[in-house]
Structure 1
Amino acid sequence: MSSNGDPGQTLAPAALPAGDWLAPVDGHRVWWCEGGDPAGLPVLIVHGGPGGASRLEPTRWFDGLPLRWIAIDQRGCGRSEPPGRTDGNDLGALLDDMERLRRHLGLRRWAVAGGSWGARVALAYAARWPEVLHGLLLRSPFLGTAAETRRYIAPWRPWLGAEGQAWLGEPAATAVAALYQAEPGLLHIGAMQADERIARAWSAFDDAQSAPGGVAASGARCDPAALPAATPQLMASWRVHAHYAAASWGAAAAGAAGVPALNSGVPVSVVWGAADATCDPAVARALAAALPGALSNEVPEAGHRMSDPRLAPALRAAARDWALRCRGSG
């Protein structure tokens, strides 16, 4: 559910190809890029968040394989324009953008890989268009349930501590807790989205939760002097993230609920860390059990970050095995 699988890390401009934009829709110009083997099996990579951006790291899992990877920045995210726009931005629209990109590229089928929030988006896409899937790879999945977000935000007050709460203020501290506890009646979402202090505190808390065991294991506490700067990119990311949180993570989007009915023989892999405090490992276990034929890999002691030294090699190995199975099934 975190902004990118490594919270606080922004998209380096030179990290991915220059890419291109889809034709504007609903006031959004959606960015995408591709690499790898142009003649290889196409794999769409769906970033996390909401409010994240495409990164180079997942593309490197497929180095040397006959695969054509494709990355897309969701509406309001990364290089998509305008940054932080929430009008015309919901889960159904994200699915439409993915399908528009498939058709724009003239692809009959492709495989889809999504992590964290991106796994929710990938599952919703698979539920709506199962016939176009070569395979499905899910990293540290998030399904958008109230139980998941309440688990995530539980250490918020301890993390703030007396110093952080004094700096942020009681109304803002309460509003953030309400946002993740599915209590929209307590929210003034527009004010929250524009509040630089909330954005900075959220980013640092999300970072702390993404370490193995999260705040409860590390004992991390808010240090107002060390919080990240309120850059335009951070504010855009927070606006999109808060927008989706207040909308129950796209619960109303058609085809977004439940486990997709995939065609027989479609390769599925689910990989997650056993010490993930951001996205509940119990959800990943249940999802892996519910997806027919899914290969699962729970990595002991690993947290949420893709760069976790325990999780990173497991992700690469699982992704490469999955990609080769997708090619064999196609």
Structure 2
Amino acid sequence: MKILYPEIQPFQTFFLATNSVHQVYVELSGNPNGIPVIFLHGGPCSGTKPDHRRFFNPEQYQIILFDQRGSGQSTPFGELNANTTQDLVNDMEAIRNKLAIEKWLVFGGSWGAALALVYVAQHPTVVLGLVLRAVFLARQRDLAWYAKDGANRIYPEQWLQLMASLPEPSTDLLTTLCQIFWGDDDALKAQAAKPWLTWGALTALGNDYQPKALDINERSFLQIKMELHYAQNAYFLTENQLLQSCGHLQHIPAIIIHGRQDFFMSYRGGF
């Protein structure tokens, strides 16, 4: 059973201007005088959802959600220029300064957990604590387990469907997908999009995954391109950068939550 706090609406929304084409959507809900907590969504490019506000007690927390560059309600959707991990970290600091927050709690899951660790490594003095869920360390070994050899042994049926969606057999799935989604053949993109999105949902949710009809459109293509943009650029991190930075963060209170269905992320996270 999933137990969340009651549905709430934001009391403030705005778009954060950047030094680029990006306009970053930010919303505040809960208690304006409560403990500030910033929520970092996964993906990259999955965006925030109304239920994300419900992770936090609205009487105790000032809940800050933002859609990372090119995601959700941020504009332009799917824009890859000036869209790196460091850009996202800079946006977080710009949000904190705009809201005149001295210190805040940082909450992230999956890719959001990786982003949280990058942020706190650079700005440890402004972090009250960390809550990390389904940790992902964005290493090449983690990505290879997901998209080459590892998860395919756990979900072989869906893996075979994904491989069958490619125009020809491939031993380098990510490179092949990049060729497809940076190409001009929309029919081929649509053919590969559904199995790829299904693969991501299945490996993230495990036994909780429920097959559903997917509306594949241009927005789907842009979302996938952003995922691939980060993956092909090693998430703009050096190998093992996040683990190497953790030794300097021992003074920051942290909670790591790994559930039974997080076995996949458990390997990716290295814990």
Common fold: TM-score over 0.5: yes
The equivalent residue for 2:3 is: none
Give the whole-Å Cα distance in 2 for the aligned partners of 1:87 and 1:56: 27
The equivalent residue for 2:137 is: 143
Contact 1:274 1:281 in 2 (8 A): no
Residues 209-238 of structure 1 show CA distances to partners (whole Å, capped at 9, x for unaligned) of: 223369xxx9x9xx9xx7622134322321
The equivalent residue for 2:105 is: 111
Structure 1 outlier segments of 4+, above 4 Å: 14-18, 163-166, 184-187
1:241 and 2:236 aligned: no
Contact 2:138 2:234 in 1 (8 A): yes
1:191 and 2:183 aligned: yes
Residues 29-65 of structure 1 show CA distances to partners (whole Å, capped at 9, x for unaligned) of: 1111011110111001000011111123232122244
Pick from 245, 249, 262 the counterpart of residue 249 of structure 2.
262
The equivalent residue for 2:96 is: 102
Pick from 275, 280, 287 the counterpart of residue 266 of structure 2.
280
Give the whole-Å Cα distance in 1 for the aligned partners of 2:128 and 2:162: 47
The equivalent residue for 2:166 is: 169
Contact 1:193 1:242 in 2 (8 A): no
Contact 1:204 1:227 in 2 (8 A): no
Q: 1:17 to 1:234 in 2, by over 3 A?
A: farther
Give the whole-Å Cα distance in 2 for the aligned partners of 1:281 and 1:40: 35
Q: 1:64 to 1:44 in 2, by over 3 A?
A: closer
Q: 1:144 to 1:164 in 2, by over 3 A?
A: closer
Give the whole-Å Cα distance in 1 for the aligned partners of 2:217 and 2:257: 32
Contact 1:31 1:73 in 2 (8 A): yes
Question: What secondary structure sits across from 1:95 in the alignment?
Answer: helix
> What is the Cα deviation at residue 89 of structure 1?
0.5
**How do 1:200-239 and structure 2 match up within 5 A?**
200-212=194-206, 228-239=214-225
Q: 1:229 to 1:16 in 2, by over 3 A?
A: farther
The equivalent residue for 2:173 is: 178
Contact 1:272 1:281 in 2 (8 A): no
Question: How many residues align structurally?
Answer: 254
Cα RMSD for the two superposed structures: 3.2
The equivalent residue for 2:4 is: none
Residue 221 of structure 2 aligns with an amino acid whose one-letter code is M
Runs (5+) with no aligned partner, structure 1? 1-13, 286-330
> What is the Cα deviation at residue 120 of structure 1?
0.3
Runs (5+) with no aligned partner, structure 2? 1-7
The equivalent residue for 1:19 is: 13
> What is the Cα deviation at residue 141 of structure 1?
0.8
Residues 156-196 of structure 1 show CA distances to partners (whole Å, capped at 9, x for unaligned) of: 764243x6654x2343x637x532xxxx5995362399723
The equivalent residue for 2:69 is: 75
Question: What secondary structure sits across from 1:48 in the alignment?
Answer: coil
The equivalent residue for 1:159 is: 158
Question: What secondary structure sits across from 2:265 in the alignment?
Answer: coil
Q: 1:193 to 1:70 in 2, by over 3 A?
A: farther
TM-score, structure 1 length as denominator?
A: 0.67
**How do 1:121-136 and structure 2 match up within 5 A?**
121-136=115-130
Residue 259 of structure 2 aligns with an amino acid whose one-letter code is G
Question: What secondary structure sits across from 1:77 in the alignment?
Answer: coil
Question: What secondary structure sits across from 1:212 in the alignment?
Answer: helix
Identity, % of aligned positions: 26
TM-score, structure 2 length as denominator?
A: 0.81
Q: 1:276 to 1:208 in 2, by over 3 A?
A: same
